[in-house]
Amino acid sequence: MSSNRNPLCYNEMQVHSVIKETDDVYTIELIAQDFYPYEPGQYALVSIKNTPDIARAYTLSSSPGLSRFITLTVRRIKDGVGSNWLTSEVKEGDQIWLSDPMGEFTCTKIVSDNYLLVAGGCGVTPIMSMTRWLLKNRPEINIVVLYSIHAPKDVIFKREWALLQEQFPQLKLFMNASVGAEPGFLSGRISHEILTGLAPNIADYTVLTCGPESYMNDLRAITEIIGIPAERFFWEQFHSSAENCLIDNSKQVTLTITNPVPQTFSAPVGMTLLAALEEHKAPIIAACRSGICGSCKTLVVSGDYDTKTSGPLTEEEIKQGYVLACSCQLKGNITVDLLP
């Protein structure tokens, strides 16, 4: 089976158990076959169905040195190839393959004495990983967690949050529900009123947040008003904004490939470069398709386009014209070189 996995995913794991967290969220507990070092808040690519062509990025929701297993906590998404496989088909005893850990969104690299950890929905996975680690390894600091969900039934890690509050009195945990708030929950969506009520000196905190893009944009706007500067605001975005772009089939652009085989074809405005290349069977490698892993790095020789994320690309690579094809939207005619 290992010969068929995605080449980026060479860390073998055995599934110990699959735990239901909510109606559509599951935690997969994994036993690593070899030492697997990672930092709290990092993610990894998973070779989906143990095939070479499909990989998806998931947060390691466990905490290094503390959790018994390496865990992935996954929300089942309709028509989601990765999430449906992990939550419906994978079972105890199965083998799955992970990449090395990735990401800079970790409290070991973003150091502060005052943390405001803010999670929206399934964005709680890296927040829980970092919360456990900070409580155990830096008990002297201030930790405030704000967890936003749609309704109380949607709380992920419900039992563990309660246990952490009992074990670590310094943890200040708040949950806000958009609808049906019960006793113990703040009512309504994230707001200036909610944030300023979390701590009297909230403007002194460093913010780490993960959740839907619109949620994090709202949070950033509120924290700016409060007085938290951009250099103390860090966020993790799971999916490329290009996934939500609008394709205009009435407007076509010309896409030219110079190498390895010269080719020219048309594509609609708004389509991602990756989708256009794959539609015409061009030789492009793609794994996570979320602007994270960098496997679809492509050199743009010239053209008109928008990029939504640069992922692991270096500043030098960006200056040279490299983009991530999965998060590059076509705006006008474009020429690419697939050989570098």
Domain with CATH 3.40.50.80 in the chain: 114-236
Domain with CATH 3.10.20.30 in the chain: 242-337
Average pLDDT score over the chain: 92
Hunting for tokens 């705006």 — which residue is that? 331
pLDDT band at 95 (very low <50, low <70, confident <90, very high): very high
Lowest mean pLDDT among 21-25, 82-86, 211-215, 287-291: 287-291
Give me the architecture of the 242-337 domain, per CATH: Roll (3.10)
The model carries a pTM of: 0.84
Q: Domain 114-236 falls in which CATH fold?
A: Rossmann fold (3.40.50)
What tens digit of pLDDT does each residue of 128-163 get? 999 999 999 999 999 999 999 999 999 999 999 999
Burial of 289: CB neighbours in 10 Å, binned 0-12, 13-18, 19+:
buried
According to the model, what pLDDT value does residue 309 have? 80
Give me the residues paired with residue 143 across strands: 115, 171
Mean pLDDT of 261-289: 90
pLDDT band at 116 (very low <50, low <70, confident <90, very high): very high
For 2-98, CATH gives 2.40.30.10
Sign of the Cα torsion 179, 198, 67, 109 reads: positive
Spatial contact of 144 and 172, defined as CB atoms under 8 Å apart: yes
The vertex-206 CA angle with 203 and 209, nearest 5°, equals: 115
According to the model, what pLDDT value does residue 238 have? 62
Domain with CATH 2.40.30.10 in the chain: 2-98
51 versus 19: the higher-pLDDT residue is 19
Dist. CA 293–CA 312, nearest whole Å: 7
Dist. CA 43–CA 14, nearest whole Å: 18
